[in-house]
Amino acid sequence: MEQMKEQKVGRWLKKGYPHFKEECGLPEHVLPQHSFVRVIDELGDESMLKLSQPLRLAENIQASIDNKGDPETVATKEWQTAVMLWPACPGVRPVVEAFLDATARIMRQFHGGQLKMSMEIVCRALGVLGFAPFLHTGREIMEDIATILGGTADDPPDMIRRYADTVTSGNAETESYIDDCITKNSRWAAWVKLLLQEVRDFPYTPKPVGITPPLSAEVIRVLARMLNEGADNGPGRNYSQSA
């Protein structure tokens, strides 16, 4: 009985995800549903709710889900309307695309032993930049980071690209300012710490999926590899023979 209750959040996420993906215009090969379902099942409600706590996303969520009954009874039109009414919906695809491009650029340097930045710092910033644009509570930290990068919080994809430029150009001073901005924000520092711990503890390497929109497991895969292998072997390891 307890196990069934714990998975209610996951049931709603899995049922609503195809509608989220369709309305946000994400291509079929990006964040595929079968991978999303596997990650949700692996995490379970407890981990997802814990991850939501620093940003106060979990407040009253269990009671709300209990009151809504069975997600199977929700009509397709209701799901579509709910997603379309989300103000951030049009921004999901541009952010995901910018994020995947940025992580690919950074990983190319990492594989070649040219990346000069700390993996922990890079992953912390990527986590915040990938999620903060979609929350009201993320506006302040996005504005702070935009000031450092010379961009605008109204254009998150551009901020992500600017951040990738900062990392790949070896601009350690700007990187340090961004990391200070994150670590001094108690709410976001606590959230990204939990996120990266989940990445480290995850029992397998996910295929491109989303744990919490719009974060994709392609991003999670990159973060995990950067964190685990970067910490174990240092930035100079050549990955041409791995995987």
DSSP SS3 for 202 = coil
Prediction pTM value: 0.77
Omega into 214 within 30° of 0, i.e. cis?
Answer: yes
Sign for the pseudo-dihedral over CA of 141, 153, 20, 65: positive
Residues 6+ apart with CB under 8 A from 148: 174, 177, 178, 181
How far is CA 93 from each of CA 25, 100, 134, 161, 222, rounded to the nearest angstrom? 6, 11, 12, 14, 19
Mean pLDDT of 17-34: 86
pLDDT (tens digit, 9 = 90+) per residue, 45-90? 888 888 888 888 766 666 667 677 788 888 888 888 888 888 889 9
Share of the chain above pLDDT 90, in %: 39
Q: Is the pLDDT of residue 237 over 80?
A: no
d(CA 14, CA 71): 9
* pLDDT averaged over every residue in the chain: 81
- The residue to which tokens 């711990």 are assigned: 197
Report the length, in residues, of the chain: 243
d(CA 187, CA 202): 23
Confidence (pLDDT) at 231: 53
- The residue to which tokens 């196990």 are assigned: 3
157: closest CA among 95, 221, 72, 76? 95
User: Do the Cβ atoms of 119 and 231 come closer than 8 Å?
Assistant: yes
Residues 6+ apart with CB under 8 A from 97: 157
| DSSP calls for 43-65 | HHHHHHHHHHGGGT-STTHHHHH
d(CA 29, CA 32): 6
pLDDT (tens digit, 9 = 90+) per residue, 133-187? 999 899 999 999 999 999 999 999 999 999 999 999 999 999 999 999 999 999 9
2: closest CA among 44, 30, 40? 44
